[in-house]
Structure formats: structure tokens, C-alpha cells
């Protein structure tokens, strides 16, 4: 339904993104996540041809929207846009906001447009408020009307740009549940959002924008449960993650233990977990960085769970020749101590970097 190929956008002589490729098939919802300024809205605007990319192609329902002879109005009819700031017509009441485009653009008879508008208003929980003016509505209600207006055109794809980000938490929740209900009935499109819960509820896949492009893309499940790359993890875990590079020539176990414990102390823990911090540093980090085998620097990440005791520590070792959980790095005694104190521990190699993951 949406096909993006090698998209590049330069603004003011600066490349905002390059090499962007993705597909959204019928029934799929792609969530685009990323730090502020990473180009999410600009990318979304390209899909409606409100931004002209520097190069690349976009196909909507099989049509290249940048072809010279393409009728962009016809293509835009296939798209429903929902923005952060609602963009309702302030001089029209709720009903007129919804029936305007079906009547003017699609040539629908007024009677039918009204009948259909009521169906869509019902879907967003706004039936009975047809005569209100936008100024009389709360932010959440305005956004629900904006959603009804978008779906009233029966678009093939829906594009949302931060539909909940200008709302307070309660209203954000009501809009979120309207969008989630819609998604359960099956929608196709793209949503840019800061709300991880919204992406979790409605997306089928997720793209994370960073470093001038799509940095990581995966199915929703893989993205949230097994993010592969550093910046994605940092984004997802944000304040819950402690990170530090530990240099083999400047290893200070006492400082590291103190920092890890201080960070962990903000979360619920048990005695065994607090003890484990020290043990990990002594039985794992020290032998690998300071033992007889060729040593390496390490990168430590402690990811704390806000809702449970499931905290995780990940060590990455860049130039290690072999499995860090095997001789010559660790022997059976180190391993059995670590296993005794942790829920599980395993090592794996990814893109030439050995990782040890310890579930505390
Ligand atoms: N018309 C423009 N001309 C020049 N620079 C622009 C223009 N529009 C956006 N930018 C810049 O491009 C960058 C990306 O903007 P964009 O709005 O796409 O980011 P975003 O990922 O949507 O951010 P946010 O999460 O804050 O909404 C920003 O640094 C912005 O200042
Ligand atoms: Mg934006």
C-alpha cells in the first residue's frame, strides 16, 4: 500500500535522512519512533507530498506520487491525516467538520454524508455532540473528532503524527483507546509517536529513526523485546538504563560497584541482587579485563525494570577472541558462582562483539 525507496531529504543544505526504505502492506501499521528532530514528521510529510524529497520514490497504492502526470489530489483522497494539533475548522461545528470533505471532495449527497458521519462519530465516542463547536471541546474530544473526520473519507492509509502528544495523560488515554479500537478493526498506515504504549497497541512493525535514516526496523515483538542496536536500546530504556565504558587499563571495581548499586537502589531489589553486583564485577569483569588471557575494554549496561525485579546487566566486549564465559577467561568456579546468584546468564556474539547477558 505504501512503498518508500531510497528516500533522501535535504533541508537547508543539511541531510535530514537518506536511504530510507520501507513497505507498509494492507493491514500493516508502521510505527516510527525516534528522538525529537530525527526527521519523523518530515518523513511523514513526504508521504503526502507536503515535503518534496531530494531524491527517492514513494508509491501509494501503486502510484508514484512524484510522477509529473500524477493527480496528487486523487492520491491524497486515499490518505487520512491526523496531526498533533487537531486542525479542525474552528468556524464549523463537529458535524460540518466531518461531512465537508465527503461532500465537497467526493461529491457525496449531504443526507448520506450525515448518516455516515454519525457512524464514525459513534466509533470515536462523540455521537450526540454534532452541534458543538471545536472551541467547546476538550483536547481529547477534538482529536477524536479529527480522527472521525479522517476515517470518514474511507482512506486506504491513515497517517498519524503524534496524535496524543499535546494532550494531558487522561485525554491521551481516551484518544489512545479510540485509535486502538480502530486498529483492532484493521487499519493500514503509519504512526509517528512518542508513546511507546500506543506503538505497542497498534503497530505491527516499528522503525526507529536515528543517524540520518532508519536505524533499526523490526516486527513489533522483536523491536520491543529484542532491540538489536545501541541507540534503539538507549531510546527504549531511557532513564532505566545505566551505561558505562570500562577501560581495561583504568578498571576501578570499587567505583563501578558503587555506581551500579546507586543506580539500582532507585528500583525494587532483593538482597541477592544487590550482592550479585559485586560478584559480577569480581567473578566476571575482573578476570576478563585483568586475567592472563588477552584482555579487552568492556561496555556495561544495567537495565532496570520499573515494574518487577527483572533487572538485566549486559556486558559487551569488543575485541575478545573467544567466548567470555569459557576458559581462558572464566573457569568452572567463576561460572558456578555467577549461576548461583543470577536467574540466568548467557553469552552470544553479534556483529563481532561478544555479549554476556545476566538476568538478575
Ligand atoms: N522546512 C524546514 N526547513 C529547515 N529545517 C527544517 C524544516 N522542517 C524541519 N526542519 C528541521 O528538520 C529537523 C527534523 O524535523 P522533524 O520535525 O521532521 O523532526 P521530528 O523527528 O518530527 O521531531 P519531533 O519529535 O520533535 O516532532 C529539525 O531539526 C527541524 O528543525
Ligand atoms: Mg515531529
CA distances in angstroms from 26 to 66, 68, 87, 102, 147, listed in the order given: 21, 26, 27, 23, 19
- Do 308 and 245 belong together in one domain? yes
Query: Do residues 16 and 165 both lie within one domain?
Result: yes
Supply the mean pLDDT for the chain. 93
Mean pLDDT of 254-282: 94
Based on the domain organization, do 227 and 263 belong to the same domain? no
For residue 86, is pLDDT > 80? no
Query: Based on the domain organization, do 190 and 298 belong to the same domain?
Result: no
**Ligand 1 proximity of 210 Cβ (cutoff 6 Å):** no
Please tell me if the CB atom of residue 16 comes closer than 6 angstroms to any atom of ligand 1: yes
Statement to judge: residues 265 and 204 lie in one domain: no
Residue with the nearest Cα to atom 17 of ligand 1?
Answer: 41
Average pLDDT over residues 298-318: 92
- Give the pLDDT band (50/70/90) at residue 173: confident
* Residue 227 and residue 123 share a domain: yes
Residues 199 and 212 in one domain: yes
Express each pLDDT in 206-237 by its tens digit: 999 999 999 999 999 999 988 999 899 989 98
Instruction: Give me the pLDDT at residue 62, please.
Output: 93
pLDDT, one tens digit per residue, over 116-141 is: 999 999 989 999 999 999 999 998 99
42 Cα–ligand 1 center, Å: 6
Q: Where does a domain end: 238, 258, 281?
A: 238
Same domain, 234 and 108: yes
Mark which of 207, 222, 238 sits at the end of a domain.
238
Are 131 and 183 members of one domain?
yes
Please give the residue range of the domain that contains residue 277: 241-359
Shared-domain flag, residues 251 and 127: no
* Domains of the chain: total: 2
Do 123 and 232 share a domain, yes or no? Answer: yes
Q: Which of 37, 191, 212 for mutating ligand 1's site (highest number of atoms within 8 Å of CB)?
A: 37
Residue 84 clears pLDDT 90, i.e. is over it: no
Q: What is the CATH number of the domain that holds 116?
A: 3.40.50.300
Q: Which ligand sits closest to the CA of 37?
A: 1
Residue 87 has pLDDT above 90, yes or no: no
What is the CATH number for 296? 3.30.565.10
Q: At 21, is the pLDDT very low, low, confident or very high (cuts 50, 70, 90)? A: very high
CB neighbour list of residue 238: distance below 8 Å, 6 or more residues apart: none
Of 183, 214, 238, at which residue does a domain stop? 238
- What strand order describes the sheet that includes 344-350? 241-246, 298-303, 312-317, 353-359, 344-350
Give the count of beta carbons closer than 10 Å to the beta carbon of residue 92.
Answer: 14
161 lines ligand 1 (CB under 6 A): no
86 vs 177, more confident:
177
Task: Identify the pLDDT of residue 166.
Answer: 81
> Which residues does 173 contact at the CB level (< 8 Å), separation at least 6?
none
Kindly give the distance from the C-alpha atom of residue 207 to the centroid of ligand 1, in angstroms, as a whole number: 17
- Predicted pLDDT of residue 174: 86
Amino acid at each position: 500500500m505504501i512503498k518508500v525507496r531510497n528516500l533522501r531529504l535535504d533541508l537547508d543544505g543539511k541531510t535530514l535522512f537518506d536511504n530510507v526504505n520501507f513497505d507498509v502492506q494492507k493491514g500493516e501499521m508502521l510505527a516510527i519512533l525516534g528522538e525529537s528532530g530525527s526527521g519523523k514528521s518530515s518523513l511523514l510529510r513526504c508521504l503526502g507530498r507536503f515535503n518534496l524529497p531530494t531524491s527517492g520514490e514513494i508509491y501509494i497504492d501503486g502510484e508514484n506520487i512524484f510522477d509529473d502526470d500524477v493527480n496528487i489530489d486523487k492520491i491524497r483522497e486515499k490518505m487520512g491525516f491526523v496531526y498533533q494539533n487537531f486542525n479542525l475548522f474552528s468556524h464549523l461545528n463537529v458535524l460540518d467538520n466531518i461531512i465537508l470533505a465527503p461532500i465537497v471532495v467526493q461529491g457525496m449527497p449531504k443526507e448520506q454524508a450525515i448518516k455516515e458521519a454519525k457512524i464514525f462519530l459513534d466509533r470515536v465516542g462523540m455521537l450526540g455532540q454534532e452541534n458543538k463547536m471545536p472551541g467547546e471541546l476538550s483536547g481529547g474530544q477534538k482529536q477524536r473528532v479529527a480522527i472521525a473526520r479522517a476515517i470518514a473519507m474511507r482512506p486506504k492509509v491513515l497517517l498519524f503524527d503524534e496524535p496524543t502528544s499535546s494532550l494531558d495523560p487522561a485525554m491521551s488515554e481516551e484518544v489512545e483507546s479510540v485509535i486502538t479500537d480502530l486498529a483492532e478493526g484493521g487499519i493500514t498506515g503509519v504512526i509517528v509517536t512518542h508513546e511507546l504504549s500506543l506503538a505497542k497497541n497498534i503497530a505491527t512493525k516499528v522503525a526507529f529513526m536515528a543517524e540520518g535514516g532508519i536505524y533499526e526496523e523490526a516486527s513489533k515483538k522483536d523491536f520491543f523485546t529484542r532491540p538489536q542496536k545501541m541507540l534503539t536500546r538507549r531510546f527504549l530504556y531511557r532513564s532505566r538504563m545505566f551505561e558505562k565504558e570500562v577501560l581495561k587499563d583504568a578498571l576501578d571495581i570499587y567505583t563501578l560497584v558503587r555506581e551500579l548499586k546507586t543506580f539500582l537502589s532507585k528500583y525494587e531489589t532483593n538482597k541477592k541482587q544487590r550482592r550479585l553486583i559485586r560478584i559480577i564485577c569480581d567473578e566476571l569483569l575482573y578476570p576478563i579485563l585483568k586475567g592472563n588471557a588477552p584482555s579487552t575494554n568492556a561496555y556495561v549496561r544495567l537495565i532496570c525494570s520499573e515494574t518487577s525485579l527483572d533487572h538485566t546487566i549486559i556486558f559487551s566486549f569488543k575485541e575478545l577472541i573467544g567466548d567470555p564465559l569459557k576458559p581462558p577467561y572464566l573457569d568452572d568456579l567463576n561460572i558456578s558462582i555467577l549461576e548461583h546468584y543470577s536467574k540466568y546468564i548467557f553469552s552470544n556474539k553479534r556483529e563481532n562483539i561478544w555479549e554476556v547477558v545476566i538476568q538478575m
